[in-house]
Structure formats: structure tokens, C-alpha cells
């Protein structure tokens, strides 16, 4: 009987982490930003039907990068968790924090159990509050750790680079068109320095809009509405604002 | 697999197993004791508050669903301001007559069922699909219905594919039938239906349709003691909802007050309401 090779726990974990990271890096990155009236999700997604962003519950949205079947599985698990919890207790008892904890436990257990393949996914769970101060954004990497984010967050292959870009330019209280344009710029700036424009029809955009009168705040933005938001001809005042914001943020960056 | 919803531990396997898009199916497999239909029935008859009259009427471009505000228990008024008309989702609504507690629970589960499907599939059910789902839920309540705890809803919605408002009525066994023009359910429904029969025309405007349902509810309250008329003293007015291609809208307090006043003011002069032509 042959003796198995000894692999140190550190090495085993490092290998699994590298495996998961590589899988995630193959997918396209996406960003989640706070804006004045809520939280906007932006990503490049050529598919009309297979979504990267979706609604989990009234005020809670979900975004994922990585392997589709794995995050879809987690998404449906999350919807079931939220609906069952809301049905058992009350709609207000479903929170992003609770959901993020469950996801973290799930990813963490899978990551550290030797028998299972680690999930190649990185998730964002976001909840829009009554005011911007009440917004919550949690980032969940493949290993089940959980990061409480503020302002902007990027996940996926070029996440680090995009995050840096966003950190320098994102401001609290941006308007939706401004936040959307910033997100698209961030996604377009590539690792090799050459920007490539992402056409509107390849963008997937959704918002958690706290000003919506309905109980469910999640809304997809597509077609004409998306084109309108992306177009430069926002009212002159807003545009002037946007320009001065841009200048200000560039000043900050220097 | 035991239900593990209270702890913040790992999602149980059942949550991550690919399966149906139905929340009820998921509950049935994962926590069957939480499904209303799976409760063990006690012997005997239970007295519980009953909701009374719900009416609906279609008009070109949409449908109106309305209900009175009274719940009775035997010959007692159990509640004066009960709400019996609820949005089911963006484009449909359900009004309930029968045992109030069970009916409200059924509506809650029905709303969740539609929302769950929408979130999982990324698409909404067809209006027929929604109506059939409600049928299944009523059928699962048949055991309770045999003990006097029946729930008889009226389902109305805007059919986006057919571009018109539609009404579905049910019996206690879950039998479903589409109603054309107008429909009513509950103890006052006989009188409401008679009233609507005389007032209904296929070319009503939205405003006329909302007035019509209030007239019908007034007539139901006039002849059925279990149905409550507009309570002008306490400012309790019928709940009137309108569903069009713009979605579900519930008339606000001022609008329903205005409607109720208009109808009651006219009835001061003509207690029996508007008259239809003899021939």
C-alpha cells in the first residue's frame, strides 16, 4: 500500500485558493456602487437571460462573478432562505447581514472541506437602507470570508485594479447617471492600459432604488432607459455637476 | 434534513438542490408542517371571523377589484375596518371572502409563491398560471372548508399577453371559472351581482367602473347584514383597487372617501340607487 504524499495544511489551502481565484478570474468583473438614491450594479454581460445580478428580497440584491452554475445555485439558495425567513417571521426580519452570514458559512464550509471542490465564485450582497447611511454592501470571496464595504466594490478578474480606479473617483451622493458612467469607465479600463468601450447592449445594469414606491426596491435598467442614462445629454446642470465632480475627484487622486 | 432556518449556519442541502421554482413545492419538501394544507385538523366546529363581500368589474384597459370592510362572527361584527383586497403582484390582486385568518394566510403564501417564481425564473407567471396556482391552494384547504372554515377568493388581473383585465372566481373545492364583465363573492354577493347586472356596460371608463363597484357594495350592505356599507362617521370606506397596464393601484383614502360620499349623497335622494330602464 502506497503512502500518500504529505501536503501541509497551508499548502493545501493555498492550492485551493489559487484554484478558486483562477476560476473567478476567467469571468468578467462587475462593480457595485452607492449613489444618492440607492445602490447600482453594473457589469458586462452579453447574455440577456443569464443574469449576474438579481433580486433576493425587498431591499436586498445579489451580484456574482465566477462560475455561473455555482453562483446560480447560491442565488436560489438565498432566495429560498429569504422567502422562508420572511414567511416564518416578518419581511423586516430578512436582512443582508443575515444572508451574508449564511453565504459566508456555506462558502467557508465548502472551501475548507477537503472532499468538496471549492466554489469559483465571488459574491456581493447589498441592502439599500432608508438613507445612504443605512446602505450595506458585503463582499464574499470564494473562501467564505466576509468584507463590509462602503461606497464602491468590484469583484471578478480585474477586481483589484477596478477597485483602485473606483476608490479614487467614487464619491458619496453621486447621481445615478454619474455613478453609472463611472462604473462603465472603471470596467472599460483594462489591465494592459488600453481602454475598450463597452456598448450599452452588452451592459447589465440593475438598481436597488430606495425612492421606489413599491416594497420591492430591485429594478433592472435596460433598453431605452439605460441608453438615456448613458447618454451625455443629461440636463446641463447635472452635466456641469458631473464635470466638476470629475475634476474634484481627480484632484483628490493626485 | 431538518429545517435549519433559525441558525446562521450553512445553507441546508435542500436549499442548494436544484428543483422547482415553486415556493410551495420547496416548503412541502423542506418544511411540510408550515404549509397550511398539511395541518392536522381538530374535531368540531371553530368560530372565527368571516370576511364578506368582494366585487370585481372589468373595463376596457383594466379591471377593478373592491371589498367592504366588515368581518363578522355569527351575528357579531368582529372587525369594522378589515382589509380583504390585496395586491398579489404587480399586475394582479386577490380579494377574499370566508374565514379571515385562513384567507389572509393564503394570500400571504400566494403573494410569496408568485414573487418566488419571479425571482427564481426571472420571468412572471402568465395570468392563467397565477389563477391556477390559487386554485391549488384553495383545494388544499378543502379539509378546513368541510369544517366551516372555507376561503373563497376572487382573483383579478391585467393580462399583459391579451391586453385586458380578467376576473377569476372560485368555489371551495378550488374549481375555477373565468367571469366576463363582473363578478362577486361572499355573503353579500347575490345582491352585489344583481346590482352590477343592472349597471354594467362593456364600455365603462375607469372612473365609472370604480363608482359601479361602490354602488354594488352599497347594495350588498343594504340587504346583507354581514356586509358593511361606507362608514362615514368613522371614515371607513370600501377598499377599491384598479389594475391596468400600468400595474396595481389602490385608491387612496381621499379618493375612496370621495367615491363613497358621491354614492351615499345620491342615495339620500334615491335610497335604492340608480334605476335601469324597464325595456
C-beta atoms of B122 and A85 within 8 A: no
How far is residue B194's CA from residue B196's CA, in Å, rounded to a whole number?
Answer: 6
| pLDDT level of residue A243 (50, 70, 90 thresholds) | very low
Shortest distance between the Cα of A52 and any Cα of chain B, in A, equals 12
Residues in A closer than 8 angstroms to B5, CB to CB, are 81, 84-85, 88
How far is residue A229's CA from residue A240's CA, in Å, rounded to a whole number?
Answer: 15
**Catalytic residue list of B:** 52
A-B contacts at Cβ under 8 angstroms:
65
| B114 and chain A in contact, CB less than 8 A | no
Shortest distance between the Cα of A195 and any Cα of chain B, in A, equals 32
Looking at residue B19, its pLDDT comes to 85
C-beta atoms of B9 and A102 within 8 A: yes
How far is residue B13's CA from residue B17's CA, in Å, rounded to a whole number?
Answer: 6
Residue B89 CB partners (closer than 8 Å, separation 6+):
B111, B114, B115, B118, B124, B130, B248
pLDDT tens for residues A180-215? 999 999 998 865 556 677 888 899 999 999 999 889
Residue B66 CB partners (closer than 8 Å, separation 6+):
B54, B55, B56, B85, B95, B210, B213, B214, B217, B238, B239, B240, B241
| Contact by Cβ (8 Å): B192, B180 | no
C-beta atoms of B10 and A216 within 8 A: no
C-beta atoms of B16 and A105 within 8 A: no
Each of the 279 residues of chain B gets a pLDDT tens digit; together they read 444 444 547 888 889 888 889 999 999 888 888 888 887 777 777 889 998 999 999 999 999 999 999 999 999 999 999 999 999 999 999 999 999 999 999 999 999 999 999 999 989 999 999 999 999 999 988 888 888 889 999 999 999 999 999 999 999 999 999 999 999 999 999 999 999 999 999 999 999 999 999 999 999 999 999 999 999 999 999 999 999 999 999 999 999 999 999 999 999 999 999 998 898
Whether this prediction's pTM lies above 0.90 is answered by: no
| B5 and chain A in contact, CB less than 8 A | yes
Residues in B closer than 8 angstroms to A216, CB to CB, are 115
Q: Which of B275, B194, B207 is nearest to B61 (CA)?
A: B207
C-beta atoms of A54 and B122 within 8 A: yes
Q: What is the mean pLDDT of residues A25-53?
A: 92
Looking at residue A246, its pLDDT comes to 41
Looking at residue A232, its pLDDT comes to 52
Amino acid at each position: 500500500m502506497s503512502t500518500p504524499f504529505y501536503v501541509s495544511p497551508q499548502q493545501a489551502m493555498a492550492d485551493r485558493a489559487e484554484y478558486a481565484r483562477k476560476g473567478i478570474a476567467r469571468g468578467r468583473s462587475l462593480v457595485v456602487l452607492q449613489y444618492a438614491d440607492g445602490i447600482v450594479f453594473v457589469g458586462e454581460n452579453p447574455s440577456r437571460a443569464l443574469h449576474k445580478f438579481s433580486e433576493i428580497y425587498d431591499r436586498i440584491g445579489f451580484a456574482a462573478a465566477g462560475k455561473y452554475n455555482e453562483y446560480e445555485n447560491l442565488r436560489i439558495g438565498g432566495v429560498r432562505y429569504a422567502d422562508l425567513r420572511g414567511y416564518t417571521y416578518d419581511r423586516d426580519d430578512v436582512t443582508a447581514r443575515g444572508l451574508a452570514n449564511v453565504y459566508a458559512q456555506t462558502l467557508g464550509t465548502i472551501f475548507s472541506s477537503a472532499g468538496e471542490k471549492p466554489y469559483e465564485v465571488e459574491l456581493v450582497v447589498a441592502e439599500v437602507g432608508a438613507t445612504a447611511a443605512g446602505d450595506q454592501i458585503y463582499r464574499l470571496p470564494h473562501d467564505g470570508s466576509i468584507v463590509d464595504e462602503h461606497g464602491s466594490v468590484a469583484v471578478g478578474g480585474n477586481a483589484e485594479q477596478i477597485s483602485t480606479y473606483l476608490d479614487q473617483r467614487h464619491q458619496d451622493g453621486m447621481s445615478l447617471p454619474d455613478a453609472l458612467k463611472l462604473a462603465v469607465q472603471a470596467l472599460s479600463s483594462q489591465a494592459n492600459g488600453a481602454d475598450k468601450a463597452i456598448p450599452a447592449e452588452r451592459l447589465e445594469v440593475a438598481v436597488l432604488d430606495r425612492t421606489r414606491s413599491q416594497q420591492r426596491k430591485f429594478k433592472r435598467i435596460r433598453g431605452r432607459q439605460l441608453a438615456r442614462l448613458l447618454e451625455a445629454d443629461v440636463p446641463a446642470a447635472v452635466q456641469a455637476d458631473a464635470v466638476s465632480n470629475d475634476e474634484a475627484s481627480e484632484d483628490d487622486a493626485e | 434534513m431538518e429545517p435549519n432556518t433559525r441558525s446562521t449556519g450553512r445553507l441546508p442541502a435542500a436549499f442548494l438542490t436544484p428543483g422547482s421554482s415553486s415556493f410551495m413545492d420547496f416548503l412541502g419538501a423542506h418544511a411540510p408542517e408550515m404549509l397550511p394544507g398539511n395541518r392536522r385538523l381538530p374535531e368540531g366546529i371553530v368560530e372565527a371571523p368571516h370576511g364578506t363581500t368582494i366585487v370585481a368589474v372589468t373595463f376596457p384597459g383594466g379591471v377593478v377589484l373592491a371589498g367592504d370592510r366588515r368581518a363578522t362572527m355569527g351575528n357579531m361584527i368582529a372587525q369594522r375596518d378589515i382589509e380583504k383586497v390585496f395586491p398579489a403582484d404587480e399586475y394582479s390582486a386577490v380579494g377574499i371572502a370566508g374565514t379571515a385568518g385562513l384567507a389572509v394566510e393564503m394570500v400571504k403564501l400566494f403573494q410569496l409563491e408568485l414573487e418566488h417564481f419571479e425571482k427564481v425564473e426571472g420571468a412572471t407567471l402568465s395570468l392563467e398560471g397565477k389563477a391556477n396556482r390559487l386554485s391549488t391552494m384553495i383545494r388544499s384547504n378543502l379539509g378546513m372548508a368541510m369544517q366551516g372554515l372555507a376561503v373563497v377568493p376572487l382573483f383579478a388581473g391585467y393580462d399583459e399577453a391579451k391586453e385586458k383585465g380578467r376576473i377569476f372566481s372560485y368555489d371551495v373545492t378550488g374549481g375555477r371559472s373565468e367571469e366576463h364583465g363582473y363578478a362577486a363573492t361572499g355573503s353579500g354577493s347575490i345582491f352585489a351581482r344583481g346590482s352590477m347586472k343592472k349597471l354594467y356596460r362593456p364600455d365603462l371608463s375607469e372612473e365609472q367602473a370604480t363608482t359601479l363597484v361602490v354602488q354594488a357594495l352599497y347594495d350588498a350592505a343594504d340587504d346583507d347584514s354581514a356586509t358593511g356599507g361606507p362608514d362615514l362617521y368613522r371614515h371607513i370606506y370600501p377598499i377599491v383597487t384598479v389594475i391596468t397596464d400600468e400595474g396595481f393601484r389602490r385608491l387612496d383614502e381621499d379618493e375612496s372617501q370621495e367615491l363613497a360620499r358621491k354614492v351615499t349623497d345620491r342615495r339620500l335622494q334615491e335610497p335604492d340607487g340608480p334605476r335601469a330602464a324597464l325595456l
